[in-house]
Amino acid sequence: MKTCNVLSYKYFYLCILNTYKQMNDIIVKPKNKAQKEALKEVLKKMEIEFEDVQKEIYNPEFVHDVMIAKEEVEAGKYAVIDVDNL
């Protein structure tokens, strides 16, 4: 670990910042599955730590409800409503 002489309170923070520099993250957005897989292979070969994060577009509870409704329609469990009688 590096050491430094602290001349004043102000320079103390500079010393800490210079001593504990962290690497920045890089966000990569592949355009398709083939690019994603190729990037993952390259990162593995280079022994670079990475995280495969997948964002949920829809609320999982909403998706579940839609899937149940779809199954009900396929099973014939629905009612037809005439818009003229509303």
Structural tokens at position 38: 């190729």
pLDDT category at 28 given cuts 50, 70, 90 is: confident
What per-residue confidence (pLDDT) applies to 45? Answer: 94
pTM over 0.85: no
Identify the pLDDT of residue 29: 85
The span from the CA of 30 to the CA of 36, in Å, is: 5
Between 6 and 74, the more confident residue is 74
Mean pLDDT of 45-74: 88
**4, 15 in Cβ contact below 8 A?**
yes
Lowest model confidence (mean pLDDT) among 19-23, 36-40, 47-51? 19-23
Extract the tokens encoding 2.
Answer: 């590096």
- Cβ atoms within 10 A of the Cβ of 40, count? 13
